[in-house]
């Protein structure tokens, strides 16, 4: 018993001694966070529309005579020059028509010479009443009829030569030619649906897109308002390509359609873009970015500073005591890499830029003031050409 009692006393002394030697754990240092100030400035807001590209000229090559294709005189997908021979259609039937027309013209000329000779012979005889006036009138009529036959034969010959010329199909413009719809040996017929090929002038491209009637009315009122900042917006149109990249050249509006499409309630617009690198091809789908609204003294914060949960937008607002508080805000349209703030913040407020997953409401922080401007984290802008 004495030994057991001694053991308990020893353990108690050790435990008391160790508790007395424990030190309080040091408090965690405040988290250092990047803090930016809410920016207030005038902004021009962009709208984005889906559009499709077309060449400066997209010319369909149609056969103008029927016949068998004898040759293709180009390389598909290559650049061709205006006047270059593209297709040859069997000319033999049309050469025969030319020969026949030339024969009829020669016959008409012979007939004209005969009737002219008859008239020259009858006219002096009619003056001395050696022949009747009826014979004179008949000779003049035959001569005039022969002159008409000449004109008809010449017209038929010109038409036959024109048809013969259509057997050689030449490029109407300089541009990039596509894949041929016919091959050597195919029989072709003229008509709107008979297409041999298409040539596109890609020195510049046209982009067509549509906007709703309501959007058109809003933009019209905004652009025609007194002191409007949108008057030059039509000369600053940007394209976003299908891979998300920004097309490097700025475009401008070409035209607006004359009417609202009654079946869709939309209006078609077209913008043109320089295409020196030939990166744009007809048929591409692109996004068109146009400035459609201007706001004065708008409040802007980075998109990356916003916490969104179930449609509620919040930011960490820095207080005077270097503690952060969650602040619910109402955001408006996006502008570059920022959002417009409609409610919840004031000019000069400071908010946390990033690292918000480590923060809690009321957390003390060590603020690191950073400079920020809208567009600082955006992709490079397009340039004018």
Q: What is the pLDDT of residue 360?
A: 86
Q: CA–CA separation, 81 vs 359, rounded Å?
A: 66
pLDDT digits (tens, 9 = 90+) for 109-137: 999 999 999 899 988 888 888 888 888 89
Helices 92-127 and 133-165: angle between axes, nearest 10 degrees: 160
Q: CA–CA separation, 294 vs 44, rounded Å?
A: 4
pLDDT digits (tens, 9 = 90+) for 214-261: 999 988 888 888 777 777 777 889 999 999 999 999 999 998 999 999
pLDDT at residue 29 greater than cutoff 80: no
pLDDT digits (tens, 9 = 90+) for 87-109: 999 999 999 999 999 999 999 99
Model confidence at 1, pLDDT cuts 50, 70, 90, reads: very low
Query: DSSP letter at 261?
Result: B
Q: Interior CA angle at 326 toward 322 and 328, to 5°?
A: 135
Give the CA distances from residue 279 to residues 2, 53, 166, in Å, rounded to whole numbers and listed in that order. 99, 11, 34
CATH of domain 63-89+168-195: 2.40.50.100
Phi first, then psi: give them for residue 132, nearest 5 degrees: -75, 160
Answer whether 291's CB lies under 8 Å from 258's CB.
Answer: no
Mean pLDDT of 67-77: 96
Q: CA–CA separation, 292 vs 241, rounded Å?
A: 20
Q: CA–CA separation, 193 vs 257, rounded Å?
A: 26
Give the CA distances from residue 194 to residues 3, 57, 104, 166, 175, in Å, rounded to whole numbers and listed in that order. 116, 19, 33, 15, 21
Q: Interior CA angle at 73 toward 72 and 76, to 5°?
A: 75
pLDDT digits (tens, 9 = 90+) for 154-180: 999 999 999 999 999 999 999 999 999
Q: What is the pLDDT of residue 4?
A: 46
Q: What is the pLDDT of residue 8?
A: 44
Burial classification of residue 84, based on how many CB atoms lie within 10 Å of its CB (0-12 exposed, 13-18 middle, 19 or more buried): middle
Q: CA–CA separation, 383 vs 351, rounded Å?
A: 33
Q: Which residue has the tokens 């596509």?
A: 178
Which parts of 22-132 fold into alpha helices (H)? 92-127
CATH of domain 31-43+296-369: 2.40.420.20
Comparison of pLDDT for 69 and 21, the residue scoring more: 69
Q: What is the pLDDT of residue 115?
A: 93
Q: CA–CA separation, 144 vs 74, rounded Å?
A: 50
Give the CA distances from residue 379 to residues 287, 308, 353, in Å, rounded to whole numbers and listed in that order. 15, 23, 19
Phi first, then psi: give them for residue 286, nearest 5 degrees: -135, 170
Q: What is the pLDDT of residue 100?
A: 96
Model confidence at 381, pLDDT cuts 50, 70, 90, reads: low
Q: Which residue has the tokens 């930016």?
A: 36
Q: CA–CA separation, 314 vs 356, rounded Å?
A: 11
Give the residue extent of every domain in the chain. Answer: 31-43+296-369, 47-56+202-295, 63-89+168-195, 92-165
Model confidence at 26, pLDDT cuts 50, 70, 90, reads: low
Model confidence at 23, pLDDT cuts 50, 70, 90, reads: low
Q: What is the pLDDT of residue 226?
A: 79
Phi first, then psi: give them for residue 70, nearest 5 degrees: -95, -30
pLDDT at residue 186 greater than cutoff 90: yes
Name which of 59, 78, 148, 64 is nearest 109 in CA terms: 148
Model confidence at 199, pLDDT cuts 50, 70, 90, reads: very high
Q: CA–CA separation, 185 vs 170, rounded Å?
A: 19
Given this structure, which CATH class describes domain 47-56+202-295? mainly beta
- Would you put residue 138 in left (φ > 0), alpha (ψ -120 to 50) or beta? alpha
pLDDT averaged over the chain? 88
pLDDT digits (tens, 9 = 90+) for 306-350: 998 888 999 999 998 989 999 999 999 888 889 999 999 999 899
pLDDT at residue 13 greater than cutoff 60: no
Q: Which CATH superfamily is domain 92-165 in?
A: Helix hairpin bin (1.10.287.470)
Comparison of pLDDT for 363 and 84, the residue scoring more: 84
């Amino acid at each position: 018993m004495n030994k057991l009692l001694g053991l308990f006393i020893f353990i108690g002394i050790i435990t008391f001694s160790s508790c007395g030697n424990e030190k309080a754990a040091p408090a965690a240092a405040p988290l250092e966070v990047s803090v930016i100030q809410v920016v207030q400035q005038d902004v021009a807001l962009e709208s984005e529309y889906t559009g499709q590209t077309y060449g400066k000229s997209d010319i369909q090559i149609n056969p103008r005579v029927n016949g068998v294709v004898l040759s293709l005189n180009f390389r598909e997908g290559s650049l061709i020059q205006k006047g270059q021979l593209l297709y040859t259609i069997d000319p033999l039937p049309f050469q025969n028509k030319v020969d026949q027309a030339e024969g009829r013209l020669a016959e008409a000329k012979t007939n004209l010479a005969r009737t002219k000779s008859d008239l020259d012979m009858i006219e002096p005889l009619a003056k001395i009443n050696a022949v009747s006036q009826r014979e004179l009138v008949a000779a003049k009529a035959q001569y005039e009829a022969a002159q008409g036959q000449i004109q008809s034969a010449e017209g038929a010959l010109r038409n036959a030569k024109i048809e013969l010329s259509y057997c050689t199909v030449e490029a109407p413009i300089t541009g990039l030619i596509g894949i041929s719809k016919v091959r050597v040996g195919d029989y072709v017929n003229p008509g709107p649906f008979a297409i041999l090929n298409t040539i596109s002038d890609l020195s510049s491209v046209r982009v067509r897109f549509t906007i709703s009637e309501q959007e058109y009315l809003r933009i019209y009122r905004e652009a025609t308002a007194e002191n409007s900042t949108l008057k030059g917006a039509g000369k600053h149109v940007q394209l976003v390509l299908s891979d998300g990249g920004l097309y490097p050249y700025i475009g401008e509006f070409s035209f607006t359609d004359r009417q609202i499409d009654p079946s869709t309630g939309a209006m078609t617009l077209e913008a043109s873009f320089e295409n020196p690198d030939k990166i744009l091809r007809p048929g591409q789908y692109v996004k068109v970015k146009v400035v459609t609204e201007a706001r004065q003294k708008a409040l802007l914060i980075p998109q990356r500073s916003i916490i969104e949960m179930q449609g509620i937008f919040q930011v960490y607002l820095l207080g005077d005591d270097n503690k952060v508080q969650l602040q619910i805000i109402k955001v408006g349209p996006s502008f570059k890499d920022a959002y417009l703030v409609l409610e919840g913040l004031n000019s000069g407020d400071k908010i946390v830029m990033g690292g918000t997953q480590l923060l809690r409401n009321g957390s003390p922080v060590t603020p690191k003031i950073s400079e920020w401007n809208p567009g600082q984290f955006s992709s490079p802008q397009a340039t004018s050409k």
